[in-house]
Homo-oligomer: A and B are copies of this chain.
Amino acid sequence: MITSHAVMIRQHGEPADVLFTQSYTIDDEHLAPNAVIVKVLASPINPSDINQIQGVYPSQPQKTTQYGTSFPSFVCGNEGLFEVVKVGASVTSVAPGDWALPLRVCSGTWRTYAEFSDDVLFKIPSPAQSTARGKTPLTLQQGAALTVNPLSAYLMLTHFVEPKPGNWFIQNGGNSAVGKFASQMGRLLGLNSISVIRDRPNLDEVKQQLHDTYGATHVITEEENNSREFSGVVKKWLSESGGSLQLGLNCVGGKSSTGVARKLQDNGIMLTYGGMSFQPVILPTSLHIFKNITSAGFWCTRIVEENLQLKKEILEKIISWYEDGELLEAASTASEYTGGDLASFYSERIADSKSGKQVVVNAVE
């Protein structure tokens, strides 16, 4: 028998108030033929995980009593990296020692061990497997955070406007995790990019880093993004390069979204995937009518849950970039869980996540 500790909730609320630890046993001696037991190696804390707990996120796990709670409850966490521990008699897709990801959201990744059917797991190369092929192994943090930020960045760059090399995209939140993935992937795909960032004391340093390290073609400030005069500079970049700018990525809203939309050429589309300013998207009527600019939403979950094959193909692409050393992961802080109350450990990391992305590493042997 394997004992798993899981972070669960039975009702929505602030994480510190509602998270509890449920320990339950997994019978590894009598596995169903298609069952796979995994150890959770690492799991990030994403804003969507927290919003799911708060009840303000539309995608919600089914509550269940199968883990021994007296009330229907669910295991928190949507993203994570697994190591396969044991497989049922008919499982051929993964073997013990393999690394794997949950193919679907709402899989409950905030726990130490779990049992899944083989069809909801996606095998990725373990460090030993990458090394054997002469490749760079994925880190725990890279493996644990494949299915949200890098997947979103790749989908936004490729799924709406054909990513023709030489063309451009513009994004606000250029210094965010998704923003850095987008500029890097843009460079890898041959796209030019304009990353909009907020002014800050070390502006030149951040600009330099986003350009040199993260592949942004140009980095501009929100003030420049909002300036009508600056539009001329952008037009000059476009005419000199000969490429077109028909894709905008917006995670800020408010006047920043207006500035992004104004830069787009005729028939362009702006994808909104976040609203960090807590302001709505604001679009001048003339952009809609006379430039035929479309404003659409982007929610990774909606697209990939309906198309798991696409998800798998994109994950393979991202993994190959990591293995070739061509892609840098987003910065995060890893904390090793070595025992004690798991829910309290996650609660503390959730509190810490205001200062940056947190990843919990399961360091219990």
Contacts and interface: CB of A to CB of B under 8 A. Distances in A.
Interface of A: 58, 253, 258, 272-275, 280-299, 302
A292 B282 contact: no
Given A282-B280, A282-B282, A297 B294 contact: yes
The 9 A-B residue pairs whose C-beta atoms are closest, nearest first, are A288-B297, A275-B285, A272-B288, A295-B295, A281-B283, A289-B297, A294-B296, A58-B290, A280-B284
Contact of A285 (B253, B286, B293, B302): B253
Contacts of A284: 275, 280-281
A283 B295 contact: yes
Given A280-B258, A280-B282, A281-B283, A288 B292 contact: no
With a 10 A CB-CB cut-off, give which of A275, A285, A302 has the most chain B CB atoms: A285
A289 B299 contact: yes
A296 B302 CA distance: 20
9 contacts: A272-B288, A274-B289, A275-B284, A281-B284, A282-B283, A291-B297, A292-B296, A294-B296, A295-B295
Contacts of A58: 290
A45 B213 CA distance: 57
A285 B274 contact: yes
A272 B285 contact: yes
Contacts of A258: 280
Contacts of A298: 288-289
Nearest to A56: B286
User: How many copies of this protein are present in the complex?
Assistant: 2
Nearest to A293: B297
A228 to B, nearest CB: 15
A194 to B, nearest CB: 21
With a 10 A CB-CB cut-off, give which of A290, A291, A302 has the most chain B CB atoms: A290
Contacts of A272: 283, 285, 288-289
Contacts of A287: 297
A282 to B, nearest CB: 5
B302 A297 contact: no
A281 B287 CA distance: 10
Contacts of A297: 287-294
A299 B294 CA distance: 13
Contact of A294 (B273, B286, B294): B294
B283 A283 contact: yes
Given A294-B294, A295-B295, 7 more contacts: A272-B283, A274-B285, A280-B284, A281-B285, A292-B297, A294-B295, A295-B296
A290 B48 CA distance: 12
A275 B285 CA distance: 6
Contacts of A281: 282-285, 288, 295
A15 B293 CA distance: 30
Contacts of A295: 281, 283, 288, 294-296
Nearest to A279: B285
Contacts of A285: 253, 272, 274-275, 280-281
Nearest to A253: B285
A296 B288 contact: yes
A81 B40 CA distance: 74
Contacts of A282: 280-283
Nearest to A302: B292
A283 B238 CA distance: 28
